[in-house]
Structure 1
């Protein structure tokens, strides 16, 4: 079995007696560490020493989401609110219910909005900021915790709880630090996103996290401005490096309407833009017509052409839309004529696209047909069986 083309190595199924004994010892040490942390939290010991114990445990098991909540409790109830030379003003432990965690925002949706809201709801109510600025212990703690997470992300890049905790730390920075200081931390996250997506360009956790970071950097709370041009250029770089990068194509599709609107693009500029995108697809499909990612994006372009509600050519007439669509069908026919007879995937996908154009024909009242109400299907592999 493979993951993104990388073979998975099956775990050993036969263990020696020595291996079994070693594992028992590890389990006993692990459980002792868990018990020690629980005892210290019950005693309200919100100290750097206990934080170090949670680091040790999470390095062994980052999926232990309750310990992530314990770590957040240590920071909000003791360490963030502690002055550099004074004791923590917080002595009351949070309620038991605050140690519970919700489902990961990435399990619900990859969108940045849901991620941000879910992460903030997981933690106890934070006290008012004590050390805003760029010299307080709060900044040092946040930066140290962000650094602690990097090796964990390298080892477990798709662990929800690591990404969630990183989001939470950045939200705390926004809340507790001066805007320029907090913004610098968010900007550094784009560097992490770049690094993680180089390691695995189709890691949907990384792409969802990147969208969230960009949205925050554009927000008024960080004195932001639009990054749509930069992000569109980034998708171009990623798909040029790997045509099969579905996540990059998806990100690109989400950026296009906003990109053209912010450019105040004329009808002519919009058509030129769409011409360039179809040219890119034509060349890519000639390179590898069996790549599903390319067909999904080609289908997106066809839907934006035929569906007035999402079209990037809002002023095109029905006749112009159909002429343009049919010209694209002719290009696909040319590609099929040059393909081997055995390449049934090309023919099947062509039929899906051609069927949309037929459905989009003008009705009796001259309006566009049913294609305007059809979303991009996600079951193309089933269609072509």
Structure 2
């Protein structure tokens, strides 16, 4: 804290701290050597499993140890236990990884181990297996929602959520997921992962005919418009807006959205995302909906003016804008 004199450590205290750190490192290296030796010699015992728990607790990013742990389970432990015991072991594994995720929410190997656990539930228990899967897949969806409550932009959690939804017994409702992304986006418009998830869900709903594309797109444009006006300098909503526009097949929509962005640009004249989007959409008009030479000249001039402005406010990408100006 400012104004508070830091206590000076004695030479003895510094030496003691260094010794402690050295002992800790030596312990870690010794444990690592032991586990790697057991891995090399195909030691698939309970003792080896316990040692991997210790090592992964110290370093959950040690991916080869996660692989070894799965080998211990499948080669050494599962063959000696009943299907019910395997289920109990897998539940313990899920509990272990969740404890790791609280401290390391973006370590891929932990999420990957959860997937492995859920994919190795025994299939020879009839209705009991079905009930186990239904209960625990539902728990997984709840668990990942809690992770996203803690960090709504954790893309590992979003990827895992998509995996859970695709794997759950019975079809997960895309309509429910659309509502979930709405909730996440409205709580934070800069949530790129939620916008990305929304593209996946809407694409599915449109492809199956569950949702009318034309009507729902108008609603989406209204939603993203709110985001653009709240924070025009955030890239997430602009990327989503461009996804909605696509290749610009509808001239009416293109012109309408250009007008929306031009109005925003009047309020935020130095917002590069406004200028880039205007240039991109005017180029789409130029490519597909230019009906005469006067319109073409006007659009080219407008794009050149926008690109010149972009060179001024975003000089690090000057060469890119110069290249885009070659019509």
Q: TM-score range by the shorter chain?
A: 0.7 to 0.9
Partner Cα distance (2:122, 2:208) in 1: 27
Q: 1:26 to 1:239 in 2, by over 3 A?
A: same
Unaligned runs of 5+ in 1: 1-14, 84-129, 307-320, 365-379
Match of 1:75 in 2: 73
Residues in 1 aligned to 2:135 and 2:248: alpha-carbon distance in whole angstroms: 40
By how many angstroms is 1:273 displaced?
1.0
Secondary structure of 2:61's counterpart equals coil
Q: 2: CA distance between counterparts of 1:341 and 1:166?
A: 48
Residue of structure 1 in register with 2:171 after alignment: 225
From 242, 251, 260, the counterpart of 1:331: 260
For 2:181 and 2:122, the matched residues in 1 are separated by 27
TM-score when normalising by structure 1: 0.67
Tell me: CA distance 1:345–1:259, structure 2 relative to 1, closer, same or farther (3 Å): closer
Task: Show the counterpart of 1:244.
Answer: 190
- Residue 358 and residue 43 in structure 1: after superposition, are their counterparts in 2 closer, same or farther (change >3 A)? closer
2:89 match: 141
Distance of 1:301 and 1:45 partners within structure 2: 54
- Aligned mates of 2:122, 2:246 — CA distance in 1: 39
CA drift at 1:167: 1.0
- Distance in 2, matches of 1:336 and 1:44, equals 65
Aligned mates of 2:36, 2:240 — CA distance in 1: 50
TM-score (normalizing by structure 2)? 0.78
1:174–1:182 CA contact under 8 A, matched in 2: no
2-structure distance, mates of 1:43, 1:342: 64
CA distance 1:159–1:176, shift in 2 (3 Å)? farther
User: How does 1:219-298 map onto structure 2 within 5 Å?
Assistant: 222=169, 224-265=170-211, 269-298=212-241
Q: Are the counterparts in 1 of residues 87 and 122 from structure 2 also a CA contact under 8 Å?
A: no
Alignment of 1:166-245 (within 5 A): 166-173=114-121, 175=123, 178-217=129-168, 222=169, 224-245=170-191
Report which structure shows greater RCO (CA 8 Å, sep ≥6).
Answer: 1
CA distance in structure 2 between the partners assigned to 1:257 and 1:78 by the alignment: 44
- Which protein has the larger Cα radius of gyration, Structure 1 or Structure 2? 2
- What SS does the corresponding residue of 1:244 show, helix, strand or coil? coil
Whole-angstrom distance in 2 between the partners of 1:270 and 1:228: 15
Matches of 2:197 and 2:90 in 1, distance apart? Answer: 29
CA 1:323–1:341: 2 relative to 1, 3 Å: closer
Task: Give the drift of 1:186.
Answer: 1.8
> Which residue does 2:297 correspond to in 1?
none
Q: CA deviation digits over 1:265-302, x for unaligned, max 9?
A: 4xxx4322111111112222111111111110111111
Aligned-residue offset at 1:41: 5.1
1:345–1:384 Cα contact (<8 Å) kept? no
Change (3 A) 1:228 1:47: same
Gaps of 5+ in 2: 1-12, 293-313, 323-327
For 2:30, the equivalent position in structure 1 comes to 32
Task: Decide whether aligned partners of structure 1 residues 249 and 51 sit closer, same or farther in structure 2, where only a CA change above 3 A counts.
Answer: same
1:301 matched to 2:254? no
Q: Secondary structure at the match of 1:80?
A: helix
Bigger helix fraction: 2
Query: Relative to structure 1, is the Cα distance of residues 28 and 176 closer, same or farther in structure 2, using a 3 angstrom cutoff?
Result: farther
The two structures, once aligned, show a CA RMSD in angstroms of 2.7
1:153 to 88, 101, 105: 101
Counterpart of 1:351 (choices 279, 287, 294) is 279
Q: Distance in 1 between matches of 2:268 and 2:64?
A: 56
Q: Deviations over 1:102-159 (max 9, x none)?
A: xxxxxxxxxxxxxxxxxxxxxxxxxxxx52xxxx110110000100111211111111
Work out whether residues 336 and 346 of structure 1, in 8 Å CA contact, stay in contact via their aligned partners in 2: yes
C-alpha distance 151-363 of structure 1, shift in aligned 2 (>3 A): farther
How big is the shift at 1:31?
2.1
